[in-house]
Structure 1
């Protein structure tokens, strides 16, 4: 039996569809189906019923899920430990939020790490939180404090935010006609919106809500109203002007570096962690608040 097939089994059991499992495994759906069929043949047991709505676990498959998950966890722990004992060679996968990764960390990482000829780096710019236990990434930068037990967490900095408008908007648009682009993420958006109302001493109409930074910037740059952006984005866009800065960091975002303890002693991973710390130090002081 190919032990790697167990991973396909665990993921398909969790996702319930070939397409979902293929996306998570970053394989095509025919590969997933082939690996499951090979596992079933090796075990001599049917693990899934192929239905029009998805792949449903059989009784035998359901009984094997916890066993397979434990085996997968043990194999991943073995790989992490082995990787942690390597010299500074190979590939290090770094997960960063898209905007911060592209604008803040990638340029500085490139500068700090350019002389490390024996290492390769994959920068994964995605809003999806990478699972470090499954080696979806070796090191992660996150904008929310991790709540998963057993991870090594270090706060890198706090990124300042501000209220922006297109240049001249507040001069040519009567205050009674100002509008605001809100954040549709409930808890975050509500806190930010209340802060804006407090700073402006009034409430603004909210006809547009977005859950990503680029949409908010597009709304502002098109002259439709005000919105909140990270300083490292808003200050760099010459079309925009800063109306109010979050000097006291009431709504600004802490940034965390996260690594699995089994792998943090790897020379390669340690080098990347040090580079992220150095990259943070190199961020414009106007854009961050370090305690």
Structure 2
């Protein structure tokens, strides 16, 4: 390799991987299509590898391209983290990226973030809502709200408390279908659950036999969609006790039979502990979430 490829070449290659075509990558990057094509060709020449093959549906990545993908993604995350850090030098300003699950990000964080941004107008907040645990060591996010205990030594983590999950249904649904009193009664009801098996589903099945994929009348991997189905009276599903309290028409069922606790943690890379851009949001999140679980 005569010269080390520049980041812009990797960025174009990664965008083609994600978009599946030169034209799609060009639109995503705001570049001309020939420019993206030249970047990919230059990277292939520098690395001595073929990264894509043409097909009727677009560009197909070669095995070499797929093997390099996680490294390019790590470079992309680091470059984005560098820009956020550069923006936030000095006062509480710049961009902070917060990762959280769908439910926490959509139902719990908005008022906390709104108050934070009102107090610090120079701060920009990116909310990455995903049930995937984003890697803070790779700087995919600055701060993460997690429902599992972080296990990396390089993270600064604070335990917020325990979030209790329960089975809930709309009052009108129970009026029509009756209220289950024991586990066997659930077989007579419309159950709302996940489509893909998850660690949570496996753990839930242990504490509530019969709570399995083939028993669900409605399946979705979106926690928000499940919550919406419960509120719409579609059936019985799992949701956070603290969130259900906001809706008087939601009734907890079989509370003695199904109580599933999840620990809540807020974490960030320990290198960010002295960054006002991250430390102030970290403390605000911890305070707001402590009120949520109280």
TM-score by length of 2: 0.70
Q: Secondary structure at the match of 1:262?
A: helix
| RMSD (CA atoms) | 4.6
Name whichever of 26-35 and 145-154 sits farther off: 26-35
Name whichever of 39-48 and 122-131 sits farther off: 39-48
What is aligned with 1:269?
Answer: 278
What is aligned with 1:87?
Answer: 90
- Output one character per residue of 1:153-182: Cα deviation in whole Å (capped at 9) or x when no partner: 332222111111121544553555334223
Q: Which runs of 5+ in 1 are unaligned?
A: 286-291
Q: Secondary structure at the match of 1:282?
A: helix
What is aligned with 1:228?
Answer: 238
Q: Which runs of 5+ in 2 are unaligned?
A: none
Q: Secondary structure at the match of 1:106?
A: helix
Alignment partners' CA distance in 2, 1:17 and 1:195: 40
Give the conservation status (yes or no) of the 8 Å contact 1:162–1:245. yes
What is aligned with 1:173?
Answer: 177
Matches within 5 A, 1:1-291: 3-8=6-11, 11=14, 16=17, 18-19=19-20, 27-28=28-29, 34-35=35-36, 37-38=38-39, 40-41=41-42, 45=46, 47=49, 48-52=51-55, 54-57=59-62, 65=68, 72=75, 79=82, 83=86, 86-88=89-91, 89-147=93-151, 150-170=154-174, 172-174=176-178, 175=180, 177-184=188-195, 185-197=197-209, 206-245=216-255, 250-283=259-292, 285=294
Give the conservation status (yes or no) of the 8 Å contact 1:90–1:119. yes
Over 3 Å counting, the alpha-carbon distance change for 1:148 and 1:9 in structure 2 is: farther
Alignment partners' CA distance in 2, 1:245 and 1:280: 24
Q: Secondary structure at the match of 2:119?
A: coil
Give the conservation status (yes or no) of the 8 Å contact 1:8–1:36. no
Give the conservation status (yes or no) of the 8 Å contact 1:162–1:246. no
